[in-house]
Amino acid sequence: MKIICIGRNYVEHIRELNNAIPSEPVFFLKPDTALLIRNRPFYYPSFSADIHYELELVMKINKVGKHIQKQFASSYFDEIGLGLDMTARDLQENAKKKSLPWAVAKGFDQSAPISRFLPKNRFSDLKNINFHLDLNGKTVQKGNSGLMLYSFEDIISHISQYMTLRTGDLIFTGTPAGVGPVKIGDMLEAYLEDEKILKCEIK
Ligand code: MG
Ligand 1 geometric centre to CA of 175 (Å): 5
Check residue 21 and give its pLDDT: 87
- What CATH code is carried by the domain that includes residue 91? 3.90.850.10
| Tens digits of residue pLDDT in 100-122 | 999 999 999 999 999 999 999 99
Residue 79 has pLDDT above 90, yes or no: yes
Instruction: List CB-based neighbours of ion ligand 1 within 5 Å.
Output: 54, 85, 175
Distance 173 CA to ligand 1 centre (A): 7
Distance CA 203, CA 183 (A): 8
CA of 66 to the centre of ligand 1 (A): 23
| 70 Cα to the center of ligand 1, angstroms | 23
DSSP 123: -
Measured at the CA of 174, the angle between CA 18 and CA 116, to 5 degrees, comes to 150
* pLDDT tens-digit readout, 18-31: 888 888 999 999 99
Rounded average pLDDT over 34-45 = 98
| Domains of the chain: total | 1
d(CA 28, ligand 1 centre) in Å: 9
What does the pLDDT look like over 170-185, one tens digit per residue?
999 999 999 999 999 9
From CA 142, how far away is CA 35, in angstroms rounded? 23
Q: Which domain holds residue 30?
A: 3-201
